[in-house]
Amino acid sequence: MAEPLLDRHADALELFGGLVHAVRPDQWDASTPCTEWTVRDLVNHVTGEQLWIPPLVSEGRTVADVGDALSGDLLGDDPAAAWDRAAEGASAALAEPGALERTVQLSYGPAKGAAYCSELTADTVVHAWDLARGIGADDRLPVDLVEFSLKEVMPYAGTLADSGMYAPPVDIPPGADAQTRLLALLGRKA
């Protein structure tokens, strides 16, 4: 039986991965909408997020157990291959029987595997937009992923800027489409 959440996660990984593979050698130091991150920094961040999934979900480890093992440069000399390996490992860990029902110990406390997967899926979607902007690619996001991400972030959108992980929300223009609303909630101007 297909799991819609895993399908959305796979779609987000495919979207982001396609952009990773489109980065030209001269674009890795380009700026992104994430003002303190270059293209390489952004890809390193999202790659790192996927690398956290196997130890937390499959192995039941905590953030403290993993420590700084997933800090620093995770991309090496072949960022696209590093991304591919991370995405494959994350997908395999989440597809294990019972993975989405497991309790995962995150930096902010325990969460179900499904909640963790949803959070990372939405984050990957938004960072795909950032990456597209950074490399000058088409930044239109698939409607189903935008709608999924909006549903994910809406309950806690008001506190995201306080977390330090996102810029403060920007004004949503009247009649804005779903992608513009999502990006605005996360401090981005479309």
The whole-number average pLDDT for the span 81-90 is 98
Least Cα distance to 125 among 158, 154, 153 occurs for 153
pLDDT tens-digit readout, 101-127: 999 999 889 999 999 999 999 999 999
pLDDT in tens, 55-80: 999 999 999 999 999 999 999 999 99
Tokens of 165: 């992980």
Rg (C-alpha) for the chain, rounded Å, is: 16
State which amino acid sits at residue 188: R
The region of weakest confidence among 97-101, 151-155, 160-164 is: 160-164
Average pLDDT score, the chain? 93
What percentage of residues in the chain have a pLDDT greater than 90? 81
Alpha helices of 30-105 — where are they, by DSSP H? 39-53, 63-66, 79-95
**68 C-beta neighbours (distance < 10 Å), count:** 6
Q: What whole-number distance in Å separates Cα of residue 34 and Cα of residue 12? A: 18
Contacts of 189 (CB under 8 A, 6+ apart): 170, 183
